[in-house]
């Protein structure tokens, strides 16, 4: 299986993708980890060809789970994918998650992607590209974009899964694991 996990910022893409990858025994390709370099250098904006090349290498395998919404590489991912999971949680749930995550990360100072030194800080909370503001500002636009994209006949090869609650997302992992013939469900 080749599964793309998409959804607005704070919808739980990375957490879901890791759980799904573990349940299915598939490698997980975190697009943020490919994109964000030391010092918050953004390959997607500063070196899109390198970003695309790194993503292409990562999805060259026969089976994987990706997580992320980068419009410059998502078409290549979706061409190879067999399934897409669109985590379409309500805006209130997304905002609770992204605020909680940002508070925890700023409080602990945890490094977001090993080796980058990138950490969330309180002083960036008012920036327009901070995850909280980004999730708020892009929620409706991203939902509309995915509604349109997944209705497009060019993506008819994809099996689209659209969990709208955390419970539906957990049930989807179990269902995909059963469909793949697995028996061990991660905690």
Helix H, strand E, coil C: the string for the chain is: CEEEEEECCCCCHHHHHHHHHHHHCCCEEEHHHHHEEHHHEEHHHHCHHHHHHHHHHHCCCCCEEEECCCCCCHHHHHHHCCEEEEECCCHHHHHHHHHHHHHHHHHHCCECCCCCCCECCHHHCCCCCCHHHHHHHHHHHHHHHHHHHHHCHHHCCCEEECCCCHHHHHHHHHHHHHHCCCCCCCC
Among 90, 91, 84, 100, which Cα is nearest to 3's? 84
**Model pLDDT for residues 49-74, shown as the tens digit of each residue:** 999 999 999 999 999 999 999 999 99
Answer CATH for 2-179 from 3.40.50.300, 3.40.50.1370, 1.25.40.10, 3.40.50.1000: 3.40.50.300
**Model pLDDT for residues 78-124, shown as the tens digit of each residue:** 999 999 999 999 999 999 999 999 899 889 888 888 888 788 888 78
CA torsion sign for 145, 146, 148, 154 is positive
**Model pLDDT for residues 91-100, shown as the tens digit of each residue:** 999 999 999 9
Average pLDDT over residues 120-140: 86
């Amino acid at each position: 299986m080749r599964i793309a996990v998409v959804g607005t910022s704070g919808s739980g893409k990375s957490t879901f993708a890791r759980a799904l990858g573990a349940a299915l025994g598939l490698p997980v390709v975190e697009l943020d980890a490919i994109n964000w370099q030391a010092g918050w250098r953004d390959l997607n904006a500063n070196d899109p060809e390198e970003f695309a090349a790194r993503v292409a290498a990562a999805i060259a395998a026969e089976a994987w789970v990706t997580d992320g919404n980068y419009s410059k590489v998502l078409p290549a991912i979706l061409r190879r994918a067999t399934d897409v999971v669109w985590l379409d949680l309500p805006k209130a749930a997304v905002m609770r998650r992204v605020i909680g995550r940002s508070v925890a990360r700023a409080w602990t100072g945890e490094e977001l992607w090993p080796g980058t030194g990138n950490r969330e800080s309180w002083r960036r909370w008012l920036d327009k590209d901070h995850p909280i503001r980004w999730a708020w500002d892009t929620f409706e636009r991203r939902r509309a974009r995915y509604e349109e994209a997944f209705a497009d006949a060019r993506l008819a090869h994809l099996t689209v899964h659209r969990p709208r609650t955390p419970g539906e997302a957990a049930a989807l992992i179990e269902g995909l694991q059963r469909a793949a013939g697995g028996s061990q469900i991660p905690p």
